[in-house]
A and B are shown apart, each in its own frame.
Chain A
Amino acid sequence: MDVFLIQLLNGLDKGGAYALIALGLTLAFGTLGIVNFAHGALFMLGAFCAVTVQQILTMSVKVRDESITFFEAYKEQPYLEIWWGDTGTAIIDYAVPISILFVIPIMLLIGLALERGLIKHFYKRSHAEQILVTFGLAIVLQEIIRAFFGANPIPTPAPDIVAGSAAIGSFLGLSDNLVYPWWRLIYLAFSSLVIFGVFAFLKFTTFGMVVRAGMADRETVGLLGINVQRKFTIVFGLAAVVAGVAGAMYAPILPPDYHMGMDFLVLSFVVVVVGGMGSLGGAVTAGFLLGILQSFASMNEFKAIFPGIDQIIIYLVAVIVLLVRPRGLMGREGVMED
């Protein structure tokens, strides 16, 4: 039972990240018809927003380290700690949650700028050309980050209060062995909340209704005098925000480096394809499903029978799904079939 629960939690946790990125990808594809290979780079940019906020908060003055006597060593003391003592230390400790406040407007602006500046010129071009231009954009973005932040992962810790793990087993009256890191639980709750928020926004707001109508029949909505394009541009910005906050919140789990977006992008495309191109529900379902499968495939019991299954399970499932249901789990007829 413990083994099952912990692998399930781990799968949901991984699945949350996959689902968030896949959701943004699908939003852009469903509205603008753009296959956005730069979406992983937006996830990475979000994580680096968290890094930047942390670096701003920890801007330091160099002071002599008196404990080193046989050469002149210096240690860094953040200005916030000098000015505000323990309050300053606490603010630095909460760098990642604080960064979310900045990630949302910054990523929205980046998303809008990308759509207006580049993506809109490729609406009527083939998917192959869209993939080429967005892939090129992803490379440019990651090289910019590499130039500013270097190639090394940058530790971006969660606040101390949630640095340990939660005794879920004791709480549920199960084994004491069942523990799970607090931040990963927070990430799972956060990703669920964002997914729910996006669905609620599309389902229950007038804006969302127009967007959904536009996705179904763009021409008719346009004939009603609604500027569908403007709504879709905002949706692209929204997709960038979703990817950005997903990246920022993921920073304490995996120290960000310039390449992290590309690592997630490939998996997320598999998730989108398995879920069905253009299906928001499909993207989320497939994200969690594949995360859980990957987690269970890592159990030694499975690996003893199928060595290396943890490395290939996602692709294996993708192949099977595409053979049995070529449009993916929840794909619609006519999407990317022209």
Chain B
Amino acid sequence: MSNKDKNDNNLANTRRSFMKKSATAGIIAASSAPTFFMKNAFAADGSFRNMPGMGKSIKLGFNVPQSGAYADEGADELRAYKLAVKHLNGEGDGGLMNTMKPLSLKGNGILGKKVEYVTGDTQTKSDAARASAKRMIEKDGALMITGGSSSGVAVAVQSLCQEMGIIFMSGLTHSNDTTGKDKRRYGFRHFFNAKMSGSALGPVLKEEMGTERQAYHLTADYTWGWTQEESIKETTEALGWKTTATVKTPVGAGDFSQYITPILNSGADTLILNHYGKDMINSLTQAVQFGLRDKQVNGKNFEIIVPLYSRLMAQGAGENLKGILGTTNWNWALTDAGSMAFVKSFGAEYGFPPSQAAHTCYVQTLLYANACEMAGTFYPPAVIKALEGFKFDGMGNGETEYRAEDHQCFKNVLVVRGNQNPTSQFDLLEIVKEVPRSQVEYDASIFGGELGPYKV
């Protein structure tokens, strides 16, 4: 055999063995590849992304802001998620599982599988939130993603979850867009929205402040701020109020003085702060420091309104929030059985009552778990169908329904006021009115948007 023949033979052997090895590797890879290599979320054999299979546990992904303007809410959300996991696994006092109706959960995890969790930091930024959600889905195998304390984040993560076929149970997100123009089949919101805040707040504003006011808006410059400004403006203008100016402020601006000083001589007699979290604490504190609450304009006392606020913000803003009107999704001082059970359970675990962010996140986790039990499977389209139109009670806001058309929960909304005479360090919000669900309902089609397909 010539050298050339030897070389050709070696080459052929090498090529042949390479082909063999490649084929073997391909078969191994195809049989053992994790589901994230799937092009779509569903394979032809009926399996789906992160399908638990024969494993004894499943993982949920808690994606909350651990830094940034909404970090306080994020910390409380995480506490609530951990408590929900405990209760789902049959530990602790069971919390809202004692009061929820109808209840399919058995206290043995979800569908008999122990619930575990992974966490991510959204940093209150959409790109970071998407990256951490993607990591939890692809690397950690999270079956459901939940969390977020910013509508920008919720909309971004919801859209990612739709693409990946993973259910997203949003946490605190108040923008109309989340279940409006940006709604998704895989996204569900228990929290109320800006439109509902406006509907709830309108009659109280008319009663307490009359029909002749000049309103000045300071608005966080992102989806939530814009839709809240729009909804509150619509409400106040319907009352007969005039809008002096609407000024957008960057999220996390810190020093709002340059936005507050122009208000002093604007002729406005009402400041509407479309801010949340640290931004709201800073802007309200600075507005009070600049003497706005001591002013008389147009023969009226200058008033500040915070359309969305929570006890955590009230804690940060301290004295400055006393007497200020706003709305909230839920408050620990409610005396229904569900609220009391949750406060007792959360209080025993952490030594202080839960915030509205904690409440909505806890409820969302239980609702997802309950839907899996109802569907008898983790298969996302079946779980989605179980959640759509689901009517429940005993979770703290009276009778509630997950509207099938836009995946928005409809329930009672609270109009609250910063408590003038608190009886404890936590008694910061006084409930002015529990506005019935019928008063805050609206037509699902007004915000447009498409839910999209069940199978992606």
Tell me the A residues contacting B by CB distance below 8 Å.
Answer: 2-3, 6-7, 10, 13-14, 65, 67-68, 70-75, 150-153, 155, 163-165, 167, 177-181, 183-184, 253-255, 260, 263, 294-295, 298-300, 303, 310-311
Residue among B67, B254, B291 making CB contact with A254, cutoff 8 Å: B254
Given the known inter-chain contacts A2-B264, A73-B351, please indicate yes or no for A300 contacting B291, CB distance below 8 A. Answer: no
Chain B residues within an 8 Å CB radius of A311 = 250
Minimum Cβ distance to chain A for residue B216 (Å): 9
Chain A residues within an 8 Å CB radius of B262 = 3, 7, 298-300
**How many residue pairs at the A-B interface have CB separations less than 8 Å?**
106
Tell me the B residues contacting A by CB distance below 8 Å.
Answer: 66-68, 71-72, 245, 247, 250, 254-255, 257-259, 261-262, 264-266, 278, 281-282, 286, 289-291, 295, 316, 340, 343-344, 347-348, 351-353, 423-427
Given the known inter-chain contacts A67-B424, A75-B425, A179-B291, please indicate yes or no for A298 contacting B258, CB distance below 8 A. Answer: yes
Chain A residues within an 8 Å CB radius of B71 = 150-152
Is B343's CB under 8 angstroms from A177's CB?
no
Residue among B66, B258, B344, B423 making CB contact with A14, cutoff 8 Å: B258
Minimum Cβ distance to chain A for residue B67 (Å): 3
- In the bound assembly, the distance between CA atoms of A184 and B255 in angstroms comes to 12
Residue among B266, B282, B427 making CB contact with A255, cutoff 8 Å: B282
- In the bound assembly, the distance between CA atoms of A248 and B424 in angstroms comes to 32
Q: Which of A3, A163, A298, A303 has most chain B Cβ within 10 Å?
A: A298
- In the bound assembly, the distance between CA atoms of A107 and B424 in angstroms comes to 40
Is A68's CB under 8 angstroms from B245's CB?
no
Q: Chain A: which residue is nearest B317 at the CB level? A: A155
Q: Chain A: which residue is nearest B266 at the CB level? A: A300
Is B340's CB under 8 angstroms from A151's CB?
no
Minimum Cβ distance to chain B for residue A210 (Å): 39
Is B257's CB under 8 angstroms from A68's CB?
no
Given the known inter-chain contacts A151-B71, A181-B289, A295-B258, please indicate yes or no for A3 contacting B347, CB distance below 8 A. Answer: no
- In the bound assembly, the distance between CA atoms of A165 and B264 in angstroms comes to 13
Is A3's CB under 8 angstroms from B72's CB?
no
Is B250's CB under 8 angstroms from A2's CB?
no
Is A73's CB under 8 angstroms from B352's CB?
yes
Chain A residues within an 8 Å CB radius of B264 = 2-3, 6, 177-179
Residue among A2, A163, A299 making CB contact with B289, cutoff 8 Å: A163
Is A71's CB under 8 angstroms from B343's CB?
yes
Residue among A67, A165, A295, A299 making CB contact with B291, cutoff 8 Å: A165
Is B351's CB under 8 angstroms from A72's CB?
yes
Q: Chain B: which residue is nearest A302 at the CB level? A: B262
Given the known inter-chain contacts A65-B424, A70-B344, please indicate yes or no for A263 contacting B254, CB distance below 8 A. Answer: yes
Is A184's CB under 8 angstroms from B278's CB?
no
Is B289's CB under 8 angstroms from A177's CB?
no
What are the nearest 8 A-B pairs in CB distance? Answer: A71-B347, A151-B67, A67-B424, A298-B258, A179-B291, A181-B289, A165-B291, A152-B71
Is A68's CB under 8 angstroms from B426's CB?
yes
Chain B residues within an 8 Å CB radius of A254 = 254-255, 282
Chain A residues within an 8 Å CB radius of B340 = 70
Chain B residues within an 8 Å CB radius of A67 = 423-425, 427
Chain A residues within an 8 Å CB radius of B255 = 14, 253-254
A-B contact pairs, 20 of them (CB 8 A): A2-B264, A3-B265, A13-B257, A14-B258, A68-B424, A68-B426, A71-B347, A72-B347, A151-B66, A151-B68, A151-B71, A152-B67, A153-B254, A177-B264, A177-B265, A183-B289, A255-B282, A263-B254, A295-B258, A298-B262
Is B348's CB under 8 angstroms from A72's CB?
yes
Q: Chain A: which residue is nearest B264 at the CB level? A: A177
Is A68's CB under 8 angstroms from B259's CB?
no
Is B352's CB under 8 angstroms from A294's CB?
no
Minimum Cβ distance to chain A for residue B282 (Å): 7
Minimum Cβ distance to chain A for residue B90 (Å): 21
Is A184's CB under 8 angstroms from B347's CB?
no
Minimum Cβ distance to chain B for residue A182 (Å): 8
- In the bound assembly, the distance between CA atoms of A2 and B290 in angstroms comes to 14
Chain A residues within an 8 Å CB radius of B266 = 300
Minimum Cβ distance to chain B for residue A218 (Å): 39
Is A181's CB under 8 angstroms from B424's CB?
no
Is B289's CB under 8 angstroms from A165's CB?
yes
Q: Chain B: which residue is nearest A158 at the CB level? A: B289
Q: Which of B67, B68, B258, B426 has most chain A Cβ within 10 Å?
A: B258
- In the bound assembly, the distance between CA atoms of A178 and B290 in angstroms comes to 9
Q: Chain A: which residue is nearest B68 at the CB level? A: A151
